[in-house]
Copies of this chain bind each other. A is one copy, B any other.
Amino acid sequence: MSVFSNLLNQTQSKKLLNSSFHLYRCISFSSLSTTTTTPSSLDVNLSHPIYMIWGSNTGVGKTLVSTGLATSILSSSCLEKQVKFNYIKPVQTGFPLDSDSRFVYRKISEFFVNRKPEFSLLASNHGLKASVPAWKEISGVDLENEGVEKSGGLKDLCWYEERRIEGIEKDSLGAKLVCKTICGWKEAISPHLAVQREGGDMEDSWLLDSLQKNLVDGGNDDDGKRFWTIVETAGGVASPGPSGSLQCDLYRPFRLPAILVGDGRLGGISGTISAYESLKLRGYDVAAIIIEDHGLLNEESLISYLRNRVPVLVLPSVPRDQSNNLMEWFGESQNVFKLLSEIMQSSYSERLRRLQNMPKKAQNIFWWPFTQHGLVPEENVTVIDSRCGENFAVHKAKNHDLITQQFDACASWWTQGPDATLQVELARDMGYSAARFGHVMFPENVYEPALRCAELLLEGVGRGWASRTFFSDNGSTAIEIALKMAFRKFSSDHGILLDLCNGNMVEKHIEFKVLALSGSYHGDTLGAMEAQAPSSYTGFLQQPWYRGRGVFLDPPTVFIHSRTWKLSLPKALQFDKRKPENMTFSSQSELFCGTRDVSDLGRSYSAYISKQLSQLLESGSSAHIGALILEPVIHAAGGMHMIDPLFQRILVNDCQSRRIPVILDEVFTGFWRLGIESAAGLLGCLPDIACYGKLMTGGMIPLAATLASDAVFNAFKGDSKLMALLHGHSYSAHAMGCTAAVKAIQWFKDPLTNLNITSEGRQMRELWDAELASQISSHPGVKRVVMLGTLFALELEAQGSDVGYASMYAISLLRSLREDGIYMRPLGNVIYLMCGPCTSPRICTELLNKLYRGLQEFDQSKVERMQNFADCKP
């Protein structure tokens, strides 16, 4: 526990406590409620240094370091430059007997009394909340007789003590020390045990919110001063907090820079290094390590391990005599603490400078994909300091520098799946896999992560049809591989292979085309591009080698408008006028219902497809349709269009009956993106080949897989290597990608780890609030809504050049949503929210609410703009 208990004997400290308790002045605190919502905002003010003090173990002297640091920093105060030092202890057990904030408050007061500084010091100590037993201990009052407000088992504690130490310059404004204990429990045990025994259960979000409020307080009240804030944790880095979450996980959303108090004792090298590694494994930056000298030169081993990445400071040995008031020790240690504070100051300044300069540097040296650099002014460049689960922590420099949270609603190009817990798990697995394997050669070899990943893919998304896994690096390469597989299979099935091998046919007389739907998109490399219909992406300026080697059908689409699912038919299918009631659906489940196969619509789809294919095949052209390729249900990059699943199902069945291999491009749709592990399940049919990527690794690193049936694989068998599939990337089946996939695939479908999954592990609950979605679909500015699984997309009603991929129409709406904590990216006038498979519906509702509010403001401003425009007319 705290150093306090080691240094003052208990009777003595009890006496001190009692004597001062009667002097406290009660001031009012805003009542903090323990609600279940996550904190609305976890901004971290960067206008002054804020550090978190961690210990490599309990009893290594965190509080001594906090105190020493405060003495050094407060001593640097002078008439011109005054200092305010905030010390926050969020969680204290053994309270009030042990109180680190009180220790800091008292020791510093004592130190300054002895030192007689030039300036005065106003020191205070606050206790905000306590468990009932701790509260009783302090007040001596029986609770039932008191009107103290109860919140989540913790009592408001109006404990306040202050002391003014006059400096030589009597009238100076003086330095200020504010010490706070946010919550205290009586027993000197781990906080989570104390909660079990004394009550005071709280969600992590409450504690974060509360800490956040105190951080804000610390930064804003006295302008013109130098500020410092120190937050001291309890126990070791991975000691549980009140809820049982490890503190290194609990405080992660703030990602405050860390000072690690190491262990100078025997065994302390190991403990310090391990604690450092646990912090790194949560993405913390450690600015310095400080250890007490025990004569064992532990610092030498630490320095050697750290290779100058992190400075290591050594404190003089702390007197073990309990009667020692430590004043001499603090005096001796001043140069160390001064150095520490300088390191912290310069690390803080450097970070800030780097954050501030990043947008300009990025503009100067990056070449962003899909970006017209000229259209991105410096102020629009987002500086991402870190991510925690679904949220970016973003640097902003408006009134002052701060780090603020934005929900990553573009799922970083649709790759993201982890919540904060999965992210930590994946991080550890990434470290493990890198250490165990790095990357190792794949062909003709086997290693655990690749094997397990292939097993999981075949048992999961490949269940019932796939028997082989071919790994590559991204969706685009997975598609190129799929096309090669399909063409070979087609050649084998249709006698072309035999003819070629026997010399009955000449290569150059054979032409393969793919059958695909207009508006589908399968990747950026040439082979994948060839499988898509001409579009903005395929023009000569973009892709001089593109020819469009496909036959492209216009598909029917479905969407919600004015609360109703509607069907939109392409021109080619509008030959028979359909009754309006046949152009709507009562529900989403009707849309996906298999009985639609025998409907009128089904028959007309069938006739249309059959006619198209027959015409093509009978045209006498030398071209073969060597493959059908589909994005199941959703055309993503093409503008988040939902394709009528009935149409796709009939197309698949027709092709399979003609022995045309069917490729499903599940790079976007796979792994619960659409609320189901494989979107083939939505179509109700099975492919011959399918491609996976993006979410497969949980959003960590690139890895793709092309799954194939045995029949496809067999088309590559032969006596010669030249018959094999001669395609493979250097990092084929790299161990880290496979390790991430193994964790993510299992995590997403396990109801124990993903609360959105129903107990059978096959279904995901609806994430988007139906009523809100309906409201949005009725909004006059909204042309259509598509929602399925983790996707909520809408097309804004727009005209002319405001429509389409290059449109900038949505920019002002998205800009205001970013201010509101949602990071979105447009596809022209189509915008979307995308969460992870584990994101709680509550958060989705929050997002929809913000989106709806944003839409209303956007509409309003549009009206105003038009009004202004009308007013300006001559």
Contact = CB atoms under 8 A, between A and B. Distances in A.
B361 A451 contact: yes
Question: Which residue among A274, A283, A539 has the maximum number of chain B CB atoms within 10 Å of its CB?
Answer: A274
Contacts of A539: 507, 722
Nearest to A543: B484
Nearest to A247: B270
Question: Which residue among A56, A270, A450, A474 has the maximum number of chain B CB atoms within 10 Å of its CB?
Answer: A270
A445 B382 contact: yes
Interface stretch (A169-177, A323-331, A519-527, A654-662): A519-527
How many copies of this chain are found per oligomer? Answer: 2
Contacts of A270: 57-58, 235-239, 246, 275, 278
A721 B375 contact: yes
Nearest to A512: B544
Interface in A472-488: 473-477, 480, 483-484, 487-488
Interface in A141-192: 189-190, 192
A455 B749 CA distance: 40
A540 B384 contact: no
Interface stretch (A204-212, A296-304, A779-787): A296-304
Interface in A344-368: 354, 358-359, 361-362, 364-368
Interface stretch (A84-92, A732-740, A760-768, A861-869): A732-740
Interface string A536-555: 11011111110001000000
Contacts of A737: 701-702
Nearest to A477: B525
Nearest to A301: B240
A424 interface: yes
Interface stretch (A410-418, A559-567, A597-605): A410-418
B372 A718 contact: yes
A277 interface: yes
A280 B428 contact: yes
Given A370-B728, A524-B480, A702-B731, A721 B805 contact: yes
Contact of A474 (B237, B434, B475, B730): B730
B274 A729 contact: no
B723 A369 contact: no
A500 interface: yes
A386 to B, nearest CB: 5
A687 B849 CA distance: 52
Contacts of A507: 539-540
A271 B380 CA distance: 44
Contacts of A43: none
Contacts of A544: 484, 487, 491, 510, 512, 626
Given A441-B413, A699-B439, A236 B274 contact: yes
A374 interface: yes
Contacts of A239: 267, 269-270
A107 interface: no
Given A366-B454, A480-B525, A806-B722, A439 B700 contact: yes
Interface string A822-863: 010100000000000000000000000000000000000000
A476 B475 contact: no
A872 interface: no
A365 B427 contact: no
A618 interface: no
Interface in A693-715: 693-694, 699-702, 706, 708, 713
Contact of A238 (B269, B437, B448): B269
Nearest to A380: B444
Interface in A588-641: 626
A310 interface: no
A281 interface: yes
A304 B244 contact: yes
Interface stretch (A16-24, A120-128, A463-471, A575-583): A463-471
Contacts of A727: 369-370, 524, 542
A437 B387 contact: yes
A332 interface: no
A443 interface: yes
A315 B370 CA distance: 60
Nearest to A285: B436
Contacts of A373: 713, 716-717, 724
Interface string A793-829: 0000000000001100000000000000001010000
A423 B442 contact: no
Contacts of A368: 442-444, 728
A725 interface: yes
Question: Which residue among A368, A454, A474, A733 has the maximum number of chain B CB atoms within 10 Å of its CB?
Answer: A368
A665 interface: no
A267 B701 contact: no
A708 B368 CA distance: 12
A412 B734 CA distance: 10
B545 A512 contact: yes
B423 A427 contact: no
Interface string A425-458: 0111011111111111111111110110011001
A832 to B, nearest CB: 14
Contacts of A458: 365
A383 interface: yes
Question: Which residue among A437, A475, A528, A728 has the maximum number of chain B CB atoms within 10 Å of its CB?
Answer: A437
Contact of A362 (B432, B437, B451, B736): B451
Interface string A678-702: 0000000000000001100001111
B476 A726 contact: no
Contact of A236 (B271, B305, B448): B271
B468 A367 contact: yes
A239 B270 CA distance: 5
Contact of A446 (B189, B274, B362, B626): B362
A438 B426 contact: yes
Contacts of A189: 266, 296
A610 to B, nearest CB: 26
A348 B255 CA distance: 40
Given A477-B477, A701-B736, A430 B430 contact: yes
A510 B476 CA distance: 26
Contact of A430 (B476, B525, B730, B736): B736
A448 to B, nearest CB: 8
B443 A369 contact: yes
A371 interface: yes
Given A444-B380, A477-B525, A278 B283 contact: no
A273 interface: yes
A193 interface: yes
A573 to B, nearest CB: 30
Nearest to A828: B721
A376 interface: yes
Contacts of A537: 726
Contacts of A442: 368-369
Contacts of A484: 542-544
Contact of A729 (B297, B470, B476): B476
26 contacts: A58-B270, A190-B266, A237-B274, A238-B270, A239-B269, A239-B270, A277-B278, A280-B435, A366-B468, A369-B727, A370-B724, A375-B721, A380-B444, A386-B437, A408-B441, A412-B439, A416-B438, A418-B438, A423-B434, A424-B435, A439-B700, A473-B474, A512-B545, A525-B527, A537-B726, A736-B736
